[in-house]
Structure 1
Amino acid sequence: MLLSLQLASFFTAASLMVLGAVAVIFIDNLIKKVIALSFIADGVNLFLVTLGYREGGIVYIYLPGMSSAWFAQHASYPLPFALVLTSIVIGASTLAVMLGIIIILYQKHGTISASRVLED
Structure 2
Amino acid sequence: MTQFVLAGVLGVLFALGTFLVLRRDVVRVVWGVTIISQSANVYLVTMGGLSGSVPILGGHGGGHGAGVTDPLVQALVLTAIVIGFGTTAFALVLTYRVYEEHGTIDLLELGEKA
Same fold judged by TM-score > 0.5? yes
Superposed CA RMSD in Å reads: 2.2
Instruction: State the partner residue of 2:49.
Output: 53
Instruction: State the partner residue of 1:29.
Output: 25
The unaligned stretches of length 5 or more in structure 2 are: none
Give the CA deviation at 1:10: 2.2
Residue by residue, what CA displacement relative to the aligned partner does 1:47-84 show, whole Å, maximum 9, x if unpaired? Answer: 1121223353x3455x88524xx333321122221121
Instruction: State the partner residue of 1:78.
Output: 71
Amino acid at match of 1:71: H
Give the CA deviation at 1:29: 0.5
State TM-score, norm by structure 1.
0.80
Q: Work out whether residues 10 and 39 of structure 2, in 8 Å CA contact, stay in contact via their aligned partners in 1.
A: yes
Aligned length: 113
State TM-score, norm by structure 2.
0.84
Q: Work out whether residues 10 and 50 of structure 1, in 8 Å CA contact, stay in contact via their aligned partners in 2.
A: no
Q: What secondary structure is seen at the aligned counterpart in 2 of 1:44?
A: helix
- Percent identical among aligned pairs is 31
Q: Work out whether residues 20 and 36 of structure 1, in 8 Å CA contact, stay in contact via their aligned partners in 2.
A: yes
Residue by residue, what CA displacement relative to the aligned partner does 1:4-33 show, whole Å, maximum 9, x if unpaired? Answer: 2232112211221122123212x1001111
